[in-house]
Structure 1
């Protein structure tokens, strides 16, 4: 049975999510002590975390940062904040998806199942080397010469598929499917945001203009391997 941890302070929403997901054979736990969020993540060891942003003590972004320091557990943000900047912030901090309130719990279930399928199907564990550039599978780190960067899950996945297809166009559809599986539930702008983030990380390594945008088609990771 897959376990879901709900970090949400709205009691009615807590109950609604728990009852609905429990009916689909999920084991659902609700955070009750917001002074011990990370401790409860460790003890419950969930397959997915549903994270609200407006929380007591600290906001959800704070807890997302803490979670990402130690865990790769998929996180879906549930928030009343619908501003694009908030969504971008969540994705850049490592969230796997972002749902704005009010939302359909049926679509939430679809997103949860999509994330689980993606995680369960991701078994590959090979590092990718391209000249002086190395993408480490297990740690999700990117190294170029003596500089090492910690990547978010989405940054890692984008680079992995692009590096496996160096010099060739990778379509937006293929990238969306690799990242979120069910593309029908993903805003196309979300991919653009993630690609922009990846380009910025490469710039930090001094690798500028490595990813070329083929407008209306997809993206190409240019040949740099020697």
Structure 2
């Protein structure tokens, strides 16, 4: 179960956010004072930190800088500031993503899932095997028996995401966020086209019905 640490000074927003995260199965902890936040994060050992920018007695910038000196834990900034300068500063100091308030819970969850997958992928083997299919992440090649085929960038990302989370339904929103880092301004038909291309590529190595559609929910393998 992934562990998340929330740094938010607004008590009501903090309670609401923790509730949303815990409903998704995350194990959560939060700072209620902000004089030793970095130490609390390191002691808890989270898989991801959700960090407000403006905090009493300190700032998210300070926490990101001090945390990066000791840890590479993924950090998502969650703030009411939509300043491009604040976003750029956050990313330059080492934050992994930046989400503005008021936030869409589904979008925030997708961003968290995305950074967690990226972190897990860095430590993961370069090949994934599931149900007789082998995906070489480094070469972008999928193999079934004696047949292999090169995948496009998007086909590779979709198949890797599904195989890494096999037997779990992955929503269209999660896939779009993985492909384009956002589901905003992306025509839903674009994803359908990519899914269909992946299915045709798998058919070329003799694999049919590998990618399962769950209507209204997403896809799984």
TM category (shorter chain) comes to 0.5 to 0.7
Q: Partners of 2:72 and 2:46 in 1: how far apart? A: 11
The alpha-carbon distance between structure 1 residues 19 and 173, as it changes in their structure 2 partners (threshold 3 A), is same
Identify the residue that residue 185 of structure 1 maps to in structure 2: 182
After TM superposition, give the deviation of residue 89 of structure 1 in Å: 0.7
* TM-score w.r.t. length of structure 2: 0.58
Q: Say if 2:118 is the partner of 1:118.
A: yes
Please list the CA deviations of residues 176-220 of structure 1 after superposition, one character each: whole Å capped at 9, or x if unmatched: 99xx834241899xxxxxxxxxxxxxxxxxxxxxxxxxxxxxxxx
Contact (CA 8 Å) 1:115, 1:181: kept in 2 or not?
no
Aligned runs of 1:65-84 on 2, under 5 Å?
65-84=65-84
Please list the CA deviations of residues 58-102 of structure 1 after superposition, one character each: whole Å capped at 9, or x if unmatched: 111011100000000000001111011111111111100001111
After TM superposition, give the deviation of residue 117 of structure 1 in Å: 1.0
Please list the CA deviations of residues 6-52 of structure 1 after superposition, one character each: whole Å capped at 9, or x if unmatched: 01101111011111110111011110221111111121100000000
Contact (CA 8 Å) 1:118, 1:181: kept in 2 or not?
no
Identify the residue that residue 59 of structure 1 maps to in structure 2: 59
**Count of residues in Structure 1 that have an aligned counterpart in Structure 2:** 142
Runs of 4+ in 1 over 6 A off after TM superposition: none
Residue 82 of structure 2: SS of its match in structure 1?
coil
Contact (CA 8 Å) 2:154, 2:179: kept in 1 or not?
no
Unaligned runs of 5+ in 2: 126-137, 139-152, 159-176, 186-221
Q: Partners of 2:114 and 2:105 in 1: how far apart? A: 14
Identify the residue that residue 98 of structure 1 maps to in structure 2: 98
Q: Partners of 1:92 and 1:184 in 2: how far apart? A: 18
- Greater C-alpha Rg: 2
Aligned runs of 1:67-216 on 2, under 5 Å?
67-123=67-123, 181-185=178-182
Identify the residue that residue 39 of structure 1 maps to in structure 2: 39
Identify the residue that residue 4 of structure 1 maps to in structure 2: 4
Residue 103 of structure 2: SS of its match in structure 1?
coil
